Amino acid sequence: METALFTRWPSGKIPEAWLKPNLSESFWDAAFKTLPVEDYIRAMLEHKTILDPTVFIDKNGSTNPARSQAARVRTTAHWEIDKRFTKLALDRGVPVCTGTDTDKEKFVQQEIKTLVHDCGFSPMQAIVSATKHDAMALGIDDRTGTIQPGKIANLVILSANPAENIDNLDKVALVIKNGRMFNAK
């Protein structure tokens, strides 16, 4: 489930008031409160839904100078609602995974960083989203996603602790994939 659908509820289009550039955080906080987000959260918990917000796509699209001003403003509306809903889902216990709508290199790392820098996740919450919750979303959490005896040990070894600073995700020293080691350099 992607959070962009909230900006289209219930009229089928983004409200006109949301389509202005440079709206304040307090404006977006108030706009978010007008949406039936608690109903969505309740349904997600009841049906054991995992949220795949892909927040980096909207964050990046909202500032991309190659897009028209109108497209950036529409995407900003999505981004502002997305990041609030993603944080609310985390706070209410909805599992959040890290997905992608692109083949862009390092997208998942950018998504993890966006969860931390913009959506209120701790570094460890974002790492769990990218490992355990991704495996749950794919239905393979019995084989991978956490480090446990009997599970596949595909690992990324970093030279600095991402729990201290999520930007340390870029400091890859070694990759272990299907039992084979790959030097990052």
What is the mean pLDDT, run by run of 10 residues, along the chain of 185 residues? 52 81 95 90 95 90 92 90 95 92 77 96 97 94 92 91 96 89 76
Of the candidates 160, 159, 150, 147, the one whose C-alpha atom is nearest the C-alpha of residue 185 is: 159
- 109-136: per-residue pLDDT in tens? 999 999 999 999 999 999 999 999 999 9
CB crowding 8-44: b at 16 or more within 10 Å, else e: eeeeeeeeeebeeeebeeeebeebbeebebeebbeeb
Q: All domains of the chain, ordered by start, with CATH? A: 3-146 (3.20.20.140), 153-185 (no CATH)
Residue 103: what pLDDT?
64
Residue 160: what pLDDT?
97
